[in-house]
């Protein structure tokens, strides 16, 4: 089945869906690599432990929108830090994360960054490796009384490239970055320029 979704910027009305997606993904996907106590600390019962509308609006936050349902999101900070990055449990390994990441990298180049970095969970590490990130170090972090293993990872970005304007899946405006179909492995983005190079509330994953 090919379900069409779009990658667009976060709107404040997305906050509830994003909060639910975060909570469900941690509890049902990240539980594979962390203990119950760690998961409870990471995604507490109160899904609004974080002001999702305010934080996501203050960053370059991209969401994957499938006919009004948010199936993934990722946050880029102005310094190149990728904070929260989550994909709905039913859309894992379907190309959703890839498309969100491509939008983040395109925005990073647009605003003149040449490096992206993140603190990545055990669960998310293989994905970031596939996106071209390398591991800087393994570390232990504390969150609500629990300690977690995660990885500082980084990627140095290439210069801009031209997009294939004949691609029927590609659109570009202020809000919608690219239209893709579920399972598509990668997309193309128009970057007009890239300049040389000039924490945290969702700690582990990314």
Q: Do residues 99 and 184 touch, judged by C-beta distance below 8 A?
A: yes
Q: Is 142 helix (H, G, I), strand (E, B) or coil?
A: strand
Please tell me the distance from the alpha carbon of residue 202 to that of residue 59, in angstroms, as a whole number.
13
pLDDT in tens, 134-192: 999 999 999 999 999 999 999 999 754 444 433 444 333 333 333 332 332 333 333 22
Domains of the chain plus CATH, in order, are 4-181 (3.40.630.30)
Write out pLDDT tens, residues 95-116.
Answer: 999 999 999 999 999 999 999 9
SS3 call for 38: helix
pLDDT band at 24 (very low <50, low <70, confident <90, very high): very high
């Amino acid at each position: 089945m090919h379900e069409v979704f779009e990658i667009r910027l976060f709107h404040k009305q997305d906050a509830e869906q994003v909060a639910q997606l975060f909570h469900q993904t941690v509890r049902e996907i990240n539980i594979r690599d962390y203990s119950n106590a760690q998961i409870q600390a990471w995604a507490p019962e109160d899904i609004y432990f974080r002001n999702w509308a305010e934080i996501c609006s203050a960053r370059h936050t991209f969401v994957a929108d499938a006919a009004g349902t948010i199936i993934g999101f990722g946050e880029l900070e102005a310094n190149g830090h990728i904070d929260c990055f989550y994909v709905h449990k039913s859309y894992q390994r379907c190309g959703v994360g890839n498309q969100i990441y491509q939008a983040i990298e395109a925005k990073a180049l647009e605003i003149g960054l040449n490096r992206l970095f993140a603190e990545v969970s055990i669960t998310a590490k293989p994905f970031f490796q596939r996106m071209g990130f390398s591991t800087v170090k393994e570390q232990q972090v504390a969150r609500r009384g629990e300690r977690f293993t995660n990885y500082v990872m980084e990627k140095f970005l290439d210069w801009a490239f031209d997009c294939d304007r004949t691609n029927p899946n590609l659109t570009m405006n202020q809000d919608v970055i690219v239209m893709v179909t579920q399972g598509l492995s990668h997309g193309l983005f128009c970057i007009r320029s890239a300049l040389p190079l000039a924490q945290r509330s969702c700690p582990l994953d990314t």
